[in-house]
Amino acid sequence: MEMVEPALMARCDALRQPVTDLTLSGIQEVMDPKAVPRAMAAINQVSAVLAEGTAGIESPRYLSWHATASQTLRSMMDALQAGDGAESWRLFTAPGTGFNELGAACQGCEGW
């Protein structure tokens, strides 16, 4: 297994639970509007981790994801506020700008 850089490991650790929460609430919000507040809270938690920046992280996959993640999260929040859980989920799963790159970047970190 490839060695994971410490800064990336710390960031992936900080993101693990909010992204898990966002995944679960994202699936639920499509069918149940009561899940929207949980999804919004998870978006805010992921945004807070993103605000910590990328210092010490060299992973191209993480850096690529980080470069688009804030806009993706804003668009997801806008969709939720407009009552469009399906659009929020589409953004979460979108190739290239969704959360798949984060999962790939964090592969090898505990819980990923």
Closest CA to 28 of 17, 42, 10, 9: 42
- DSSP string for residues in 3-67: PPPHHHHHHHHHHHHHHHHHHHHHHHHTT-GGGHHHHHHHHHHHHHHHTT--TT---HHHHHHHH
Q: What domains can be seen in the chain, in order of their start residue?
A: 6-105 (1.20.1440)
Query: Are 52 and 66 spatial neighbours (Cβ–Cβ below 8 Å)?
Result: no
This prediction has a pTM of: 0.92
Q: What is the pLDDT along the chain (112 residues), one digit of tens a residue?
A: 456 799 999 999 999 999 999 999 989 988 888 889 999 999 999 999 999 999 999 999 999 999 999 999 999 999 999 999 999 999 999 998 999 999 999 999 999 9
Q: What is the pLDDT of residue 31?
A: 86
